[in-house]
Amino acid sequence: MKEIEISRVIIEQYGSKLTEHLENDVVIVGAGPAGLAAGYYLSKAGLKTSIIEKKLSIGGGIWGGAAGYNVITFEDKDILDEIGVTTSKQGDLYTADAIEFATALGYKAVTAGTAIFNVTEAEDIVLKDQIIKGVVVNNSAIRTLGLHVDPFCICAKHTIDATGHPAELVGMLKKRMPKRFPNELQEYFMDVETSEAGVVEKTCEVYPGLYITGMAVCDVFGLPRMGPIFGGMLKSGKKVAELIIKNKDKR
């Protein structure tokens, strides 16, 4: 019966994709703008890359623009041109349709080779000899319901915290290593001029094997937040990819 055939090919294809990506060059947690940009540039450079996303859909905070007005802004448009997003010049800013941007970026990451696992949540970190080796993941629906079920692991030479404002992976480190991360993980008041540059500049490897990108950078370094302007997110994602590409043979 065709019903059996459909079920079989889906389960087998997914199973292959998943077991093949238990070991990666890079695992990214969070499929928002910075995580997707990082995935795109890493995959384009030939690194085996997976993204873990706890929601059903990807795109993070892109879809709603500002307060649901689904338009977003940028200070320049180089990366947008590269990924094929239509822009409109408005004074000093470029605007784009939020849905076009979210879909273009996701499409580019996947077609470049990034494996995305949605409905999947990183609940902890794998740590060996003081080096982060990947993440402990679970079905996010099972987690949301509070069912008592064990996780499994998705490992990588390099792990990226692209979880946005909560900086979830760094938060897990801070909980067990409070002295190493003494500051509150929180973004600062809004100040666009300062934040757009700062978020890129501070993108870095924050602990052996763990990198931060996007709003997680603001949380870790207490940088100002920036609202519905997404250039810094893309550049931070690109920068973290470049850092890892440079380090790719380090581990």
Residue of 171, 177, 172, 178 lying closest to 219 (CA atoms): 171
Q: Does 5 bind a second copy (CB under 8 A)?
A: yes
Q: Which of helix, strand or coil describes residue 244?
A: helix
- Per CB under 8 A, which of residues 50..89 are in contact with a second copy? 56-61, 63-73, 84, 86, 88
Name the strand (E) or helix (H) holding 15.
Answer: helix 2-20
- How many Cα atoms are found within 13 Å in the side-chain-facing hemisphere of 198? 20
The least CB distance from residue 133 to a second copy, in Å, is 7
Among residues 154, 199, 220, 243, the one that binds a second copy under rule CB under 8 A: 154
The least CB distance from residue 204 to a second copy, in Å, is 21
Burial class (CB in 10 A: 0-12, 13-18, 19+), 81: exposed
- Per CB under 8 A, which of residues 177..206 are in contact with a second copy? 184, 186, 188-193
Residue number with CB closer to a second copy (85 or 245): 85
Among residues 44, 45, 126, 247, the one that binds a second copy under rule CB under 8 A: 126
Q: Does 137 bind a second copy (CB under 8 A)?
A: yes
By CB under 8 A, how many residues form the interface with a second copy? 101
Residue of 152, 147, 95 lying closest to 122 (CA atoms): 152
